[in-house]
Amino acid sequence: MSQSYNRGLIEDFGRWKEFSAGMWAWIFHKFTGWILIGYLFTHIAVLSTSIGAAGNEAAIANETDVYTTTLGGLEGLFLIRLLEVGLLAVAVFHILNGLRLLMVDLGIGLEAQDKSFYASLVLTGAITVASVPTFLTGVGI
Partner 1 sequence: MSTQQAEPETQEAPEDPEMKGAESPAAEEQKGGGMVDDHAEKKAELEGETVHLKVFRYDPEVEGKQEPRFDDFHVPFEKGMTVLDSVMYARDEYDSSLTFRHSCRQAVCGSDAFFVNGKQRLGCKTQISDLEQPVRIEPLPHQEVVKDLVVDMDHFYDQMHTVEPYFQDEDTPPVDDLDEQRQSPENREKIKMSSRCIWCGACMSSCNIAAGDNEYLGPAAINKAYKFAMDDREGEEIKEHRLRILEQEHGVWRCQTQFSCTEVCPKDIPLTEHIQELKREAVKKNLKFW
- Residues in touch with partner 1 (CB under 8 A): 2-7, 9-12, 15, 17-18, 20-23, 25-26, 101, 104-107, 110-111, 113-114
Nearer CB in complex with partner 1: 3/137:
3
In the complex, minimum distance from the CB of residue 36 to partner 1, in angstroms, rounded to a whole number:
18
Nearer CB in complex with partner 1: 7/58:
7
107 backbone dihedrals φ, ψ, rounded to 5°: 75, 25
In the complex, minimum distance from the CB of residue 124 to partner 1, in angstroms, rounded to a whole number:
19
**Nearest in space to 69 (alpha carbons), one of 51, 45, 39, 49:** 49
Contacts of 118 (CB under 8 A, 6+ apart): 21
Say how far apart CA 56 and CA 61 lie, in whole Å. Answer: 9
In the complex, minimum distance from the CB of residue 102 to partner 1, in angstroms, rounded to a whole number:
11
What 3-state DSSP class applies to 12?
coil
Nearer CB in complex with partner 1: 54/99:
99
In the complex, minimum distance from the CB of residue 87 to partner 1, in angstroms, rounded to a whole number:
24
What 3-state DSSP class applies to 31?
helix
**Nearest in space to 87 (alpha carbons), one of 119, 124, 121:** 124
Nearer CB in complex with partner 1: 21/60:
21
Contacts of 59 (CB under 8 A, 6+ apart): 53, 65
Nearer CB in complex with partner 1: 26/39:
26
In the complex, minimum distance from the CB of residue 129 to partner 1, in angstroms, rounded to a whole number:
28
